[in-house]
């Protein structure tokens, strides 16, 4: 088929006004087709619905099929980890209600890291629930710039590395695992089920996004060192239950499907936790080395 540019060159040569109109319509149709094809190739739907469910103990998964939110229930109210996008709020509210709670039960809002797919809706959720927003100090500057609809990003308490967040009988410990963002925060806790205590780790992320500069990063000079410290920190944490801000990190969909089969809770996955850290460290070192060599570094 003749390209759009070729058609445009032919149009002035055509004697008939009607023919020119028809050809212009063809050009418009080709352009629309290209736009539709581009839309089909767009990134996956971050707000794809997924059934809310109990993970184990007092931990519930209330996020979408792509981005995870966790409701931690206590006798004094609940903690939510990751508010996600503002556009996620309707499904977040519905999922929380489906597992038997309300937005107004949330007393503390935490977040894994200062990216909009995990913490954009903090202001909206605070307004709806009255909860306090807490964030790791190194991520505060980035969060201050996150202003959906012009709203200031609320931060009621700034967390320090290793600080404990307590509500009821539940204690969350905030671990700085920087690199993905400067204040990337992994949360650890314990939960009980069937008379057993389980160590839970809700990983922030130790992956790198396309375009991340790992070698000679002038805006974040310590990025490589932070990643290496984070791998070490994660390896030091006892983990039975491995969770994270994206379901793909911890194979959520497969584990959810296995929940209905009974038997051992599939979320008990210490081997999966170790495999995730090993994979991400390998990928990081390979990309770091590639960038170093490309820049002529030793």
**Helices in the chain by DSSP H: which ranges?**
4-10, 17-40, 89-98, 116-119, 122-129, 140-144, 223-236, 252-259, 270-294
Tokens standing for residue 70: 């966790």
pLDDT at 26: 40
User: What is the DSSP-derived secondary structure letter of residue 268?
Assistant: B
pLDDT at 31: 38
Domain boundaries, the chain: 53-294
Does residue 2 register a pLDDT over 60? no
In what order do the strands lie in the sheet containing 77-81? 53-56, 59-61, 70-74, 77-81, 106-110, 132-136, 157-159
Neighbours of 54 (CB within 10 A): 17
pLDDT at 83: 98
For domain 53-294, the CATH architecture is 4-Layer Sandwich (3.60)
pLDDT in tens, 169-216: 999 999 999 999 999 999 999 999 999 999 999 999 999 999 999 999
Burial of 177 (0-12, 13-18, 19+ CB in 10 A): buried
| Listed range (44-53, 66-75, 122-131, 244-253) with the worst mean pLDDT | 44-53
Q: Are 287 and 281 in contact (CB under 8 A)?
A: no
State the pLDDT confidence band at 59, using cuts at 50, 70 and 90.
very high
Q: What is the mean pLDDT of the chain?
A: 89
Does residue 127 register a pLDDT over 90? yes
State the pLDDT confidence band at 298, using cuts at 50, 70 and 90.
confident
pLDDT in tens, 272-297: 999 999 999 999 999 999 999 999 98
Cα angle value 28/32/33 (rounded, 5°): 115
pTM (2 d.p.): 0.85
Does residue 253 register a pLDDT over 90? yes
pLDDT in tens, 40-57: 333 468 999 999 999 999
Q: Which residue has the tokens 């007092």?
A: 58
Q: Are 167 and 74 in contact (CB under 8 A)?
A: yes
Average pLDDT over residues 55-65: 98
State the pLDDT confidence band at 260, using cuts at 50, 70 and 90.
confident
Q: What percent of the chain has pLDDT over 90?
A: 83
pLDDT in tens, 218-229: 999 999 999 999
Q: Are 242 and 276 in contact (CB under 8 A)?
A: yes
Q: Are 187 and 162 in contact (CB under 8 A)?
A: no
Q: Are 175 and 237 in contact (CB under 8 A)?
A: yes
């Amino acid at each position: 088929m003749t390209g759009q540019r070729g058609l445009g060159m032919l149009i002035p040569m055509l004697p008939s006004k009607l023919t020119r109109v028809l050809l212009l319509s063809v050009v418009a149709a080709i352009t629309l087709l290209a736009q539709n094809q581009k839309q089909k190739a767009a990134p996956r739907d971050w707000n794809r619905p997924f059934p809310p469910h109990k993970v184990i103990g007092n931990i519930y998964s209330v996020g979408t099929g792509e981005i995870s939110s966790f409701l931690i229930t206590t006798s004094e109210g609940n903690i939510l980890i990751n508010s996600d996008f503002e556009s996620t709020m309707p499904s977040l509210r519905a999922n929380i209600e489906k597992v038997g709670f309300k937005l107004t039960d949330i007393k503390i809002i935490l977040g894994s890291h200062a990216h909009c797919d995990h913490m954009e809706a903090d202001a909206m959720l605070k307004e709806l629930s009255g909860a306090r927003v807490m964030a790791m100090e190194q991520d505060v500057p980035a969060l201050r710039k996150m202003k959906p609809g012009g709203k200031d990003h609320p931060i009621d308490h700034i967390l320090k590395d290793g600080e404990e967040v307590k509500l009821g009988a539940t204690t969350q410990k905030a671990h700085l695992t920087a690199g993905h963002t400067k204040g990337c925060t992994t949360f650890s806790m314990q939960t009980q089920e069937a008379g057993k205590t389980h160590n839970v780790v809700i990983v922030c992320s130790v992956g790198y996004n396309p375009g991340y500069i790992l070698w000679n990063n002038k805006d974040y000079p310590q990025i490589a060192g932070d990643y290496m410290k984070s791998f070490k920190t994660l390896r030091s944490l006892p983990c039975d239950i491995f969770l994270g801000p994206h379901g793909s990190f911890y194979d959520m969909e497969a584990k959810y499907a296995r929940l209905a089969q009974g038997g051992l809770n599939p979320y008990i996955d210490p081997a999966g936790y170790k495999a995730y850290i090993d994979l991400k460290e390998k990928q990081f070192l390979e990309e770091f080395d590639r960038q170093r060599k490309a820049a002529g570094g030793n």
